[in-house]
Amino acid sequence: MSIWKPGKQKFAEHLLENIKTTSSINDKGKLQYDGGFEISPFDLLSECIKINCSTKSSPDVNLEKLVFDVIENLIKNNRIIEESIFIKEFNRVIKKKPEYVKTSPYQVVIEALIQTPSNQKLSINDCDIQVITKKFSKKIFLKDFSDFQAKSIIVVNCNSYSSDRAQVKAMDSIELIRAVWHLSDQSRWKIETQESLIKPHNPIALGNYCYILQQDADVIWKKQRVNFIKNPESQSMLKIEASTIKKGSKILNLLTLIRESNLEYYNLLTNSMIQYIKALDSMDLTNSLPLIWGAIETIIKKNNENKYDVFINRCAFLYSDHFYVKNLLELIKEHRNNFVHNGTENIRLTKLFLIELEKIYKSLFLFHINHASNQRSFEDAIELLSLPVEMTALKNKKKIIEQAIVFHSKTKAVKSGN
């Protein structure tokens, strides 16, 4: 399998070409970058790599250091820097040198406007999460956070190779938990009587700062979360009901099973969940619509597929009233395209479409986790969703398949050349 993320191979090839002319070994025998930008091509190259690490205790891989060392080894040994040689050396090095997956325990604490019936202990993405809405026992902290004034916090314990990576892991795990709860709850979108009163429901507003601590370290890193801009007037404390938590626990258990049996399918599902929660988070409904549309596309399309009719037919497959769903999605597609190409938008209609798209996303997501938990592949799911929805067409297709089975069971395969 390719080590490149979808759509990143050509860019990676371009970076490798760039490395030939911008990197060299200096007088101290170390790799140096001779370009004029702070970010180097081998830093960018690490962002193009898709890696599935099988090390359960330390799943993180320091890709930046790994790529840097691979390039350094190639240059020192006067080997050609090209895609096939880079991939071969990359795979050899990561298997041979376990230091690239060495991690340290970190704790990330963040304020959250959230209320649960009881304190929660959760686990996802190799992160142990505690949601605490009452008194904070010092036993849960690696160090006493004396300046923390929050009434409700989320504490994430995880292993990582740096504080920056620990923050990313922790925030991703929190986003996934939030997505699980919203998938387990009733829709929060509402249509107000006046357009001026339309505000997005804020699903568990998070504070602006993370507090990050490495175990056995004396320094607490206080880091501001970037790209976090919200209107305080729209923020509201979300009350998570016991029934929602119970449904959410079932989803988390299924996701754990999927991760162990099919990591690629798991990554696809969790990527769509992040898109889904970003759609609910957005203060701009114009952004919310393409975000939730993208979340649906992630779990309904194969790579490089770009046909709206295929997308729409697969969504409609799950519904008995597939005619209604297909026509609804056609309207949403036209509405979305009108804004993209002409800049025209009806904000009230946008919110109505968001309500419908969230329902469709929930149905598709639940279909996928039940499908994947039975150790079936994403490709199998797409093939199933691509079948005709009309019963007559399905029966005709069944007859053809049965005829093919009978034919091949009675005849021997023709050998090539005979």
Query: What pLDDT, on a 0 to 100 scale, did the predictor assign at position 24?
Result: 85
For residue 154, the cross-strand partners are 110, 131
Helix (H, G, I), strand (E, B), or coil: what is residue 415?
Answer: coil
Instruction: Using alpha carbons, list the distances in angstroms from residue 186 to 243, 304, 355, 358.
Output: 11, 33, 11, 10
pLDDT top residue among 203 and 310: 310
For residue 106, the cross-strand partners are 158, 214
Q: Stretch 5-19: mean pLDDT, rounded?
A: 89
Query: What pLDDT, on a 0 to 100 scale, did the predictor assign at position 85?
Result: 92
Q: Phi/psi class of residue 294: alpha, beta or left (left: φ > 0; alpha: ψ in -120 to 50)? A: alpha
Q: Stretch 328-346: mean pLDDT, rounded?
A: 78
pLDDT top residue among 337 and 251: 251
Beta pairing, strands 238-239 & 114-115: parallel
pLDDT band at 368 (very low <50, low <70, confident <90, very high): very high
Query: What pLDDT, on a 0 to 100 scale, did the predictor assign at position 263?
Result: 85
CB 223 within 8 A of CB 209: yes
Is the pLDDT score of 27 beyond 60?
Answer: yes
pLDDT top residue among 112 and 357: 357
> First vs last Cα of the chain: how many Å apart?
34
Query: What pLDDT, on a 0 to 100 scale, did the predictor assign at position 59?
Result: 67
Span of 48-52, 86-90, 274-278, 379-383 with lowest mean pLDDT: 48-52
User: Which CB contacts under 8 angstroms, 24+ apart, belong to 332-335?
Assistant: 332/289, 332/293, 332/356, 332/357, 333/308, 335/289
Query: What pLDDT, on a 0 to 100 scale, did the predictor assign at position 396?
Result: 74
Distance, CA of 211 to CA of 144 (rounded, Å)? 11
Distance, CA of 289 to CA of 280 (rounded, Å)? 9
| Residue appearing with tokens 């090390």 | 55
- Burial readout 4-37 (b: 16 or more C-beta within 10 A, e: otherwise): beeebeeebeebbebbeebbeeeeeeebebeeee
Structure tokens at 411: 């005849």
CB 319 within 8 A of CB 325: yes
Q: Stretch 12-35: mean pLDDT, rounded?
A: 85
CB 238 within 8 A of CB 113: yes
pTM metric for this prediction: 0.80
Query: What pLDDT, on a 0 to 100 scale, did the predictor assign at position 170?
Result: 92
Is the pLDDT score of 416 beyond 70?
Answer: no
Query: What pLDDT, on a 0 to 100 scale, did the predictor assign at position 103?
Result: 86
pLDDT band at 63 (very low <50, low <70, confident <90, very high): confident
Query: What pLDDT, on a 0 to 100 scale, did the predictor assign at position 411?
Result: 63
Nearest to 106 by CA among 151, 64, 153, 169: 169
Q: Stretch 188-212: mean pLDDT, rounded?
A: 58
pLDDT top residue among 345 and 4: 4
pLDDT top residue among 283 and 34: 34
Query: What pLDDT, on a 0 to 100 scale, did the predictor assign at position 202?
Result: 52
Is the pLDDT score of 235 beyond 60?
Answer: no
Mean pLDDT of the chain: 81
pLDDT band at 212 (very low <50, low <70, confident <90, very high): confident
Span of 18-22, 43-47, 111-115, 210-214 with lowest mean pLDDT: 111-115
Query: What pLDDT, on a 0 to 100 scale, did the predictor assign at position 93?
Result: 87
Which DSSP string do the residues of 96-146 spell out, in sequence order? H-GGGG--EEEEEEEEE-EE-SS-EEEEETTEEEEEE-S---GGG-SS--T
pLDDT by residue (tens digit) across 127-157?
999 999 888 887 888 887 766 667 788 999 9
Query: What pLDDT, on a 0 to 100 scale, did the predictor assign at position 7?
Result: 85
pLDDT by residue (tens digit) across 97-131?
777 888 889 999 988 878 888 899 999 988 999 99
Q: Stretch 278-307: mean pLDDT, rounded?
A: 81
